[in-house]
Chain A
Amino acid sequence: MAPFHLPWQTFGAFLVLGGTIILALVWALVDRMRDRDRESGS
């Protein structure tokens, strides 16, 4: 049983939400590094 007595299949929606926020942060960092590499290379 997941937190709040929820089945994992339903609680998964909150996990996806958390994962999406992490994805946005990681993408922003990777994109920034990629831009810096490009700028220092040119």
Chain B
Amino acid sequence: MIVYIIVLVFYLGLLAAIGVVMSGRSRSVGDFAIGGRSVGPWVTALSFVAAYYSSVVIIGGGAFGWKFGLATLWVGAGNVLIGTTLAWIVLGRRIRRFTENLDAMTLPGFFFGRYGSAEARIFSAAATGLFLIIYNVSVLKGMANTFEVLMELPYWSGVVISGVVILFYTAVGGYLAVVYTSFVQALVMIAALVLLTFMSLQKVGGMTALVDRLNSIDPGLVNTPGVWGWAGLISFTLIVSLGTWGMPQLLVRFYSIRSDKMLRLGTVIVTIGASVALLPYLTGAVARVLVPELSSADQAIPALTKLVLNDWGGALFLAGVVAAGMSTFAGVLIIISSSMVNDVWIHGLGRTMSPAAELKATRLMSLAVGVISLLIALKPPALVLVLTAFSWAVIASTNLWPLLFGLYWKRTSPKAALWSMIAGVSVALLWQAWPRIGWLPELPGALAGIHSFLVGTAVGLVVILIGTFAGRAAPRDNVDRAWGSR
């Protein structure tokens, strides 16, 4: 236990110190929200990896590997190809250029600049803000559960320890503290995952022995799609990969990189860094061989950690899981606070503020949102727990098409973007709630199995296409400014 405490105190102290150092560099809202567009490619790329893979992915990925076997490696491969590399290639350069041309610091701010639609700005900020808070609760809960299992601490202390440190460095140091701590967190997370994979493969006798032993338990744990089936495997891979294309806490990394040329090196670094996505699934499959008797699949990774790592290794792994959660949580806090103050308060409600007052308000908002998330996470109400399961789907359904079309198709109309957001969110929510609404007819089995994200985005796509052909294009001035042609 003492080893865990030493590693954690050192690690959390380092993060807080980064917050203090970076506080001197956050002199304006632009610095606080997007680091004054001054971040280099290494920090941008690795902080993207840290924000993408939360503790939920590590613990949950291991659980999937334990339950469904090696076919889950495809989820990790999808995370790297679709969720990371293609996102950087397709979105990165255009987002960097457009947000600079439009002087936008937030995703709702981009929608306003690109489409000239105040409604799209407010709707995106409100829907994304609300569901990001809910998403943050699930991230905090994941971290606290890890503290519970590995350190045998009560749940509430895990929430408080991780929550307070994140709140401190985020409110003090702003975006720069978030990206630099995320950079450190990515290195810790990658080291922890590589160590656990290496040690657990050694324990099981190597990769070939793992495959043979899984085969003897059930050949479905080795084959693709195996015991999971194509529908489950493909839809889950798409949700956790394509979903990143609409997640503002990931997209903000493109706004803040120093120049769009740096995205080239960034794309190579982020692809290599994101490759660790396969490791939780692989170690989950190892856990199926080494710790086959578990009351819940979520215990696969913590139980494997206890079995194959000594105290120092276990402490590093705990730090890695906590790192994954903290970087995600902190990234989300910055997004919500800058969006609430800039998009909702100033532009939505038409309040004027001096730059200094806006910076102060954004800092305070990040504290307030963090405290609210923390309080909810201490004892999450049943409804919040239900919502956390698909908060990611709702956020991605809101932003995905208006962003992609806004970057590539000048003709896309403001009304189409707005209605695509509304339809995406509403359909995703309705689809999720459908089985719980008594008076609605029961969906056939094949339809009921489709995830709300896929339904929400499919409807959002149809709406934005129809709306664009039927509606009026965005004002010429906005389009020209976005493309930098005036």
Contacts and interface: CB of A to CB of B under 8 A. Distances in A.
Tell me whether A and B are bound partners. yes
A28 B212 contact: no
A9 B224 contact: yes
B70 interface: yes
Interface residues of A, number: 22
A31 B89 CA distance: 10
B81 A16 contact: yes
B267 A24 contact: yes
Contact of B261 (A9, A14, A20, A35): A35
Nearest to B208: A4
Most buried by B among A9, A20, A23: A20
Given A9-B224, A12-B224, A20 B278 contact: no
B278 A13 contact: yes
B271 interface: yes
Interface string A1-20: 00011110110111011011
A17 B275 contact: yes
A7 B224 contact: yes
Nearest to B271: A24
Interface string B68-89: 0011011011001100010011
19 contacts: A4-B211, A7-B223, A9-B224, A13-B73, A13-B76, A14-B77, A16-B77, A17-B77, A17-B80, A20-B80, A20-B85, A21-B271, A23-B81, A23-B271, A24-B272, A27-B89, A27-B267, A28-B265, A32-B264
A20 B273 CA distance: 12
B74 A13 contact: yes
Chain A interface, >50% SS class: helix
B278 to A, nearest CB: 7
B268 interface: yes
Interface in B259-287: 261, 264-265, 267-268, 270-272, 275, 278
B422 interface: no
Contacts of A31: 264
B275 A5 contact: no
B223 A10 contact: yes
A4 B222 CA distance: 11
Interface string B393-419: 000000000000000000000000000
B222 A10 contact: yes
Contacts of A5: 208, 211-212, 215
B416 to A, nearest CB: 30
Contacts of B268: 21, 24-25, 28
B131 to A, nearest CB: 29
B207 interface: yes
B223 to A, nearest CB: 6
B285 to A, nearest CB: 10
A29 B215 CA distance: 42
Nearest to B93: A31
Given A7-B222, A14-B73, A21 B89 contact: no
A21 B81 CA distance: 9
Interface string B43-75: 000000000000000000000000000110110
A17 B271 CA distance: 9
Contact of A6 (B70, B270, B271): B70
A8 B267 CA distance: 28
Contacts of A9: 223-224
Contacts of A6: 70, 211, 222
A28 B268 CA distance: 7
Nearest to A2: B211
Given A16-B74, A24-B268, 17 more contacts: A4-B210, A5-B215, A6-B211, A10-B70, A10-B73, A10-B226, A12-B74, A12-B224, A13-B278, A16-B77, A20-B81, A21-B272, A24-B88, A24-B89, A27-B89, A28-B264, A32-B264
A21 B84 CA distance: 11
Interface in B170-225: 207-208, 210-212, 215, 222-224
Contact of A17 (B208, B261, B265, B278): B278
A38 B212 CA distance: 54
